[in-house]
Structure 1
Amino acid sequence: MERRKFLQNGTLAGISALALGSLGQSAQAAGPHSELDTKGKTFNLNYAPHDGMFRNSGGSTFLDQIKYMYDQGFRAIEDNGMLGRSPEEQSKIGDLLSKLGMQMGVFVVDTGNNWKTSLTTGKQEFVDAFLNTCRKSVEVAKRVNAKWATVVPGYFERNLPIGIQTANVVEALRRGAEIFEPHGLVMVLEPLSDNPDLFLRTAEQSYEVCKAVKSPSCKILYDIYHMQRNTGNLIPVMDWCWDEIAYIQIGDNPGRKEPGTGEINYKNIFKHLHSKGYKGVMGMEHGIAGKGKEGEDALIKAYREADSFL
């Protein structure tokens, strides 16, 4: 072969090798859980965003955001304020979820007394308000095909012994469960960390209340953010209370933002939940660390990373 042709052929071969090598390195760098591989795919667990979480990427209306959530691989939503939406809007949301094959997570049974001293007192006015809201919640649940509704018993009544307060709450919840049971709706009790006046503070306390109510319509909402703040020891407590836990919510601590922004090892917790066979909704009840569309993209990336436990 002539020296000139040999050099030409060698140069072409070198260019081809470099090109193939670059493609191989790019694919390797992308990794098994890259955005190219995972965009639009469903997650290993059923994470549920809420209204406003993707307003920059999906649009200003909740319906548009739900469509965007579906396109990103999410298969559930939750909406604390569903009770306050019009029946027409509730029906539209329910119809869209049905069309997309998505699941409705929790909405709040908001009596207007959740953030004051109420059910712990045993006073009839608070019990009546709770039961009336339970009846209203049944109708809302039908429109959006909801299976769970969050219940917050309110604040301590500091003038009553704790045993009396607990009995008052149990009695009210039993009557609420009687309303929910025929419709397959489950009220999930949420222990919170927002302030020390809240009666329901720990999963263990909620477990005790659920055992006293003795109803399939009274279970625990285990919010990982709140439980980290109040007690820690997340996985052992979760296991102790497991047969009464019906719903999980997410938020890193400190800051109550997406997984990876705080101290909680969410990949390990998600792996544990998956190994237990949890098939329920995982409510994304937290804010976003970043801003704008970039922040929303980073949130999805954070969930892809935390969900990559298999």
Structure 2
Amino acid sequence: MNTRRVTVGVVVQYIVLTLVFILLAGPLVWELSLAVKGPNDNVYSLPPYLFPKDFTLNNFVEVFRRLPLLRYFGNTLIVVAGNVLGNVVGCTLAGYAFGCLRFRWRNIGYMLFVLAIIMPTEGILISTFLLVKSMGLTNSLLGLILPGLIGPLNVLLMTNAFRSVPQELIEAAKVDGANMWQRFFHIAVPQVKGTMTVIGILSFVGSYNDFLWPLVVLSDDRKYTLTLGLNRLQGTFYTDPRLVAAGAIISLVPIVIFFALFQKNLFLGLQEGGLKG
């Protein structure tokens, strides 16, 4: 009886995992299928078919021919680098201040970051644009970087990470004569490197995939990021889904490579945060 229950439980688990896999990987597989379908394939056929009858890689070549992808990718790298650097450095400093230092209005400042998480991005989009415009940074990569330079959620993550650092270590360093910056660099930061890595990876993914803010702030196509530039593959009167799918696959390659290189750091950082929490 117990063996039968275990068998049924395993079957149910596999069914659920299969459904989740189809739900998550299905769109990607379909995009890849569209990207390699040739002119003789009917992409609107019912029922749809996954394996192309006219296999081709010309769709990828056509995307590079129509769009300056290298320029878009270069712009994206600049924006991503600025956001990652700003979040890692700025959020680490802010997290150390909220987590380890004692100063007036600390709790109020912390609550402001909590409220910033609750506020939807769309709700402050107009005010953010007007602020960037008043600074004369519209249609510039700097104006694209500034709003995401320090993420409120990242500040809270770093604050919790610093709060988990044993205060005895910091107090001992203080007694030994270490100043605030020495305690920060030599005692606190080595304890939260895992969380800093997680923040860097999340900032990279969020900045790389951002579409709404570049759409609002940029008007010069020479400064487009990759996600925004690929939108030019969709025309007003005609759109080839093969090219759109090929462009989506091309934009996915860098982020897949990035995740493949740093997935170990991501999991270790999440594990470290979980153990400390």
TM-score normalised per structure 2: 0.26
Q: Which has the higher contact order (CA 8 A, sep 6+)?
A: 2
More strand by share: 1
More helix by share: 2
TM-score normalised per structure 1: 0.24
